Structure 1
Amino acid sequence: MAHQHTLELKQIAAGRDHIQTFEFARVFSRAAQTIRKSYCLTGHYLGIRPLKLGNRLMWPVADIAALLNGSV
């Protein structure tokens, strides 16, 4: 199943280093609000910390891929 999520992440990221919250949520089959709430309460989601650009949270693709592959 992680392989499926890794392929989906590769499609969503399309070569970018960071993805937006709604894209991050899609990879984990969660609502974007779930991701935002966790960030507000803990400063991360599953140990992944985003960059904050203006009013957007940008999540690092490399960290997401590591988590999906069990490297974290």
Structure 2
Amino acid sequence: MAPQPFPKLQAVNSPAVDTAAAAYYLNRRPQTLRTWACFENGPIRPLRINGRLAWRVCDIKALMGV
């Protein structure tokens, strides 16, 4: 069995994660999240930090019902 690339969502302590981790937790492709950020039409919105996207863990948990 292959190891998980990211820790379980319940174990994440940081306030935000990068696009790859958010896509993993939401079971979407990273490009889908980038599209949500670009058009601002997704169920959650990212933070923009120096031109990079960061996704709030609390928003991901609320969306996933955790």
State the TM bucket, normalised to the shorter chain.
0.7 to 0.9
Q: Identical aligned pairs, as a percentage? A: 33
Summarize deviations over 1:20-69 as a string: whole Å, max 9, x none.
Answer: 1111000112110111012212x2531x1111001211111111111111
Q: TM-score under structure 1 normalisation?
A: 0.69
Are the equivalent residues in 1 in contact too, given 2:36–2:42 (CA < 8 A)? Answer: yes
Are the equivalent residues in 1 in contact too, given 2:36–2:45 (CA < 8 A)? Answer: no
Unaligned runs of 5+ in 2: 1-6
Question: Which residue pairs with 1:39 in the alignment?
Answer: 37
Secondary structure (helix, strand or coil) at the match of 2:63 reads helix
Give me the CA root mean square deviation.
2.0
User: Would you say how many aligned residue pairs link Structure 1 and Structure 2?
Assistant: 60
Cα 1:18–1:49 shift into 2, 3 Å: same
Question: Which residue pairs with 1:3 in the alignment?
Answer: none
Cα 1:30–1:37 shift into 2, 3 Å: same
